[in-house]
């Protein structure tokens, strides 16, 4: 079995593949101060809950945007699984070309999403990840990563609203029934969610227009992406496991002969 781990700023998402099948998905919060033993034991217990024996894991692949936790996480995997994980980064085979000014600036999370969207849905493709930050990445028909846009995620925007204003409360991020809000909570929800939908539609339209790429599919992922995808026609596919699938594809490309 293959264990893939997507380390984000807010959450760590894990997937276990048995062959081509995604057998289980798991999540835990991203915490910088965990020790290697804590990570090892957490992995052991999470896998056990899903009826997966840690001894059945043969390979591990990780994409991370949080460098501070990597020493403990990798050490925990080596100690408890006996496996040195593959880390997605410079030199990793991805199948995606990066004709940008500085390819090293493309985060591992964005590359993993690009690989999955391109390999599964074909190019040209615009992939949107509604994570802690919202990223929009454009991949050409021949698999070149040519442009990316980054904006604050829904949770970041929500946190700013109630942190930096004296009277606005902490709220659930949800789509209200109407944009014509009549109370504080629904007015905040309307601004956050409808604002994000409007941003998404404009950025998608502008990126496709300026690139002059026709027939571009738009694929979305990320925890809060479902709310947006269900309320706009500019997104063709919502795939909640896109990052895990990308890690599996990258694993297949790199573990051969490793």
* Sign of the dihedral through C-alpha 105, 107, 112, 113: negative
Residue 23 banded pLDDT, cuts 50, 70, 90:
very high
pLDDT for residue 257 is more than 50? no
Does residue 109 carry a catalytic annotation?
A: yes
Domain range list for the chain: 2-87, 103-246
For residues 32 and 66, is the Cβ–Cβ distance under 8 A? yes
Say how far apart CA 27 and CA 76 lie, in whole Å.
17
Distance CA 3, CA 54 (A): 10
Question: How would you classify the pairing of strands 86-87 and 125-130?
Answer: unpaired
* E strand or H helix at 190: helix 184-211
User: Is-contact 104 90, C-beta < 8 A?
Assistant: yes
Q: Could you tell me which of 218, 34, 233, 253 has the C-alpha nearest to residue 12? A: 34
Residue with tokens 């599996």: 248
| Between 55 and 245, the higher pLDDT residue | 245
**What pLDDT is stored for residue 167 in this prediction?**
86
Q: Where are the beta strands (DSSP E) in the chain?
A: 2-7, 11-18, 21-29, 59-64, 86-87, 125-130, 133-139, 145-152, 217-221, 237-238
pLDDT of residue 192: 96
Q: Do domains 2-87 and 103-246 have the same CATH topology?
A: yes
Residue 256 has pLDDT above 70, yes or no: no
Using the structure block, give the residue that is written with the tokens 């991805």. 94
| Residue 73 clears pLDDT 80, i.e. is over it | yes
**Model confidence over 104-125: pLDDT tens digits?**
778 899 999 999 999 999 999 9
| Mean pLDDT of the region 161-184 | 92
- Do the Cβ atoms of 17 and 2 come closer than 8 Å? yes
Task: Name beta bridge partners: 127.
Answer: 137, 219
Q: What is the per-residue pLDDT for 90?
A: 83
Superfamily of domain 2-87: ATPase, nucleotide binding domain (3.30.420.40)
- Assess whether pLDDT exceeds 80 at residue 226: yes
**pLDDT of 207:** 98
Averaged pLDDT, 48-68 = 93
Residue-level pLDDT at 11: 92
Catalytic residue among 6, 109, 113, 239: 109
Mapping DSSP to helix (H, G, I), strand (E, B) and coil, where does residue 200 land? helix
- Cβ proximity of 155 and 133 under 8 Å: no
pLDDT, averaged across the chain? 93
The architecture in CATH of the region 103-246 reads 2-Layer Sandwich (3.30)
Paired tokens of 136: 């929009």
| pLDDT digit string, tens, across residues 136-168 | 999 999 999 999 999 999 999 999 999 889 888
- For the chain, the first-to-last Cα distance in angstroms comes to 16
The pLDDT of residue 181 is above 90: yes
């Amino acid at each position: 079995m293959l264990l893939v781990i997507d380390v984000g700023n807010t959450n760590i998402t894990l997937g276990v593949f048995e062959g081509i099948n995604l057998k289980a998905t798991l999540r835990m919060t991203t915490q910088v101060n965990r020790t290697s033993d804590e990570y090892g034991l957490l992995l052991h217990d999470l896998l056990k809950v899903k009826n997966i024996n840690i001894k059945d894991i043969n390979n591990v692949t990780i994409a991370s945007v949080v460098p501070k936790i990597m020493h403990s996480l990798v050490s925990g995997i080596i100690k408890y699984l006996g496996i040195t994980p593959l880390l997605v980064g410079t030199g990793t085979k991805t199948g995606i070309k990066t004709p940008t000014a500085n390819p090293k600036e493309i985060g591992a999370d964005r590359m993993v999403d690009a690989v999955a969207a391109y390999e599964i849905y074909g190019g040209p493709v615009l992939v949107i990840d509604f994570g802690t930050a919202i990223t929009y990445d454009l991949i050409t028909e021949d698999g070149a990563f040519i442009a990316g846009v980054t904006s604050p995620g829904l949770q970041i925007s929500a946190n700013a609203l109630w942190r930096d204003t004296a009277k606005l409360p902490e709220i659930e991020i949800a789509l209200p029934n109407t944009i014509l809000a009549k109370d504080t909570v629904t007015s905040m929800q309307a601004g956050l969610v409808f604002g994000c939908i409007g941003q998404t539609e404009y950025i998608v339209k502008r990126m496709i227009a300026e690139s002059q790429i026709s027939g571009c599919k738009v694929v979305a992922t990320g925890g809060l992406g479902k709310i947006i995808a269900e309320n706009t026609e500019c997104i063709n596919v919502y795939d909640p496991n896109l990052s895990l699938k990308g890690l599996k594809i990258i694993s297949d490309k790199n573990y051969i002969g490793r």
